[in-house]
């Protein structure tokens, strides 16, 4: 299939649109929202999608779903081949209603890449309608736990999370962190648990492990990635990562498909 010319008359029948862009390490797309749902995927590199509800880190084996109207920002690590599918709201009533990450099966990966090569899917065209239906079907497939970092909601917990993320000295321990944000240790723990589902310590560990994953995606040697993640040795970092996510950090990039890049396009993802 190749890109087809579309006209204004085709607009009511289009159920999936796409955009493609190749971004370098450190690329950022500022907070924004779209009228259509989004399935955001990188065929290489790594992306971090941040919303008010949470932050998802996605290597090539993952994609992130963002419902229409949801403000989100994206940051890229390594050389990232961005491929986004936009799905028309109201077209199906079984589309996910909340942001989330999903494992990208070999079938879904091929569907995304094929759709990006076509540009848009028209429900009047049997083959295109079938591809669109298969994409929706793959959205509901369960996978391993995603790389998610739930975002706290209240000012105190948000401040604490920012100190942890920025590696501020106040984030050295939970008690010190609590004093820095002006609450008691137990109060901070309760708020973090209620708002993110994680203790302060578990949230910090998750953030640091994901930082290490970002370093691996950027091509950093595993020893340096381990240090960035707060571990004294590569083996300790790999063991903690495997325990949390079921595989080593390198696993999520060694299996990435080697494909030629699409022509760069201005992304509005």
Could you identify the residue written with the tokens 């009228």? 35
Q: Can you tell me whether residue 149 is helix, strand or coil?
A: strand
For residues 180 and 171, what is the distance between their CA atoms, to the nearest angstrom? 8
Task: Give 125-181 as a DSSP string.
Answer: SHHHHHHHHHHHHHHT---SPPEEEEPP-SHHHHHHHHHHHTT-GGGGSHHHHHHHH
Nearby residues of 27 by Cβ (< 8 Å), 6 or more positions away: 75, 76, 80
For residues 232 and 19, what is the distance between their CA atoms, to the nearest angstrom? 41
Q: How high is the mean pLDDT of the chain?
A: 86
Beta bridge partners of 56: 49, 148
For residues 80 and 46, what is the distance between their CA atoms, to the nearest angstrom? 6
For residues 157 and 163, what is the distance between their CA atoms, to the nearest angstrom? 10
User: Domains along the chain?
Assistant: 8-147 (2.60.120.280), 152-253 (1.10.10.60)
**% of the chain beyond a pLDDT of 70:** 89
Q: Band of the pLDDT at 65, cuts 50, 70, 90? A: very high
Tell me the pLDDT tens digit for each residue of 186-242. Answer: 999 999 899 888 899 989 988 899 899 989 988 899 999 999 998 989 999 999 998
The DSSP letter of residue 204 is H
Residue 177, pLDDT > 80, answer yes
Phi, psi for residue 90 in degrees, rounded to 5: 85, -10
Residue 145, pLDDT > 70, answer no
CA nearest to 53, candidates 62, 41, 40, 66 = 66
CA nearest to 16, candidates 32, 38, 34, 31 = 38
């Amino acid at each position: 299939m190749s890109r087809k010319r579309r006209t204004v008359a085709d607009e009511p029948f289009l159920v999936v649109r796409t955009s493609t862009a190749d971004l370098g390490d450190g690329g950022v797309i500022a907070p924004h929202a779209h009228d259509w749902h989004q399935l955001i995927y990188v065929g290489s590199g790594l992306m971090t999608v941040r919303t008010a509800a949470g932050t998802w880190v996605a290597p090539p084996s993952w994609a992130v779903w963002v419902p229409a109207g949801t403000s989100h920002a994206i940051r890229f690590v390594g050389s990232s081949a961005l491929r986004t599918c936009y799905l028309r709201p109201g077209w199906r009533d079984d589309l996910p209603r909340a942001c989330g990450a999903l494992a990208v099966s070999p079938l879904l990966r091929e569907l995304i890449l094929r759709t990006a090569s076509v540009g848009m899917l028209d429900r009047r065209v049997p083959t295109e309608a079938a591809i669109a239906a298969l994409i929706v079907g793959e959205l509901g497939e369960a996978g391993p736990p995603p790389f998610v970092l739930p975002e706290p909601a209240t000012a105190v917990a948000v401040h604490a999370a920012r100190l942890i993320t920025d590696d501020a000295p106040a984030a050295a321990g939970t008690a010190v962190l609590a004093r820095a944000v002006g609450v008691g240790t137990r109060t901070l723990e309760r708020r973090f648990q209620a708002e993110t589902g994680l203790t302060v310590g578990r949230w910090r560990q998750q953030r640091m492990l994901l930082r290490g994953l970002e370093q691996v995606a950027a091509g950093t040697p595993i020893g340096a990635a381990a240090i960035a993640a707060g571990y004294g040795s590569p083996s300790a970092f790999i063991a903690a990562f495997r325990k949390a996510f079921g595989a080593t950090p390198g696993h999520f990039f060694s299996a990435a498909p080697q494909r030629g890049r699409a022509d760069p396009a201005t992304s509005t993802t």
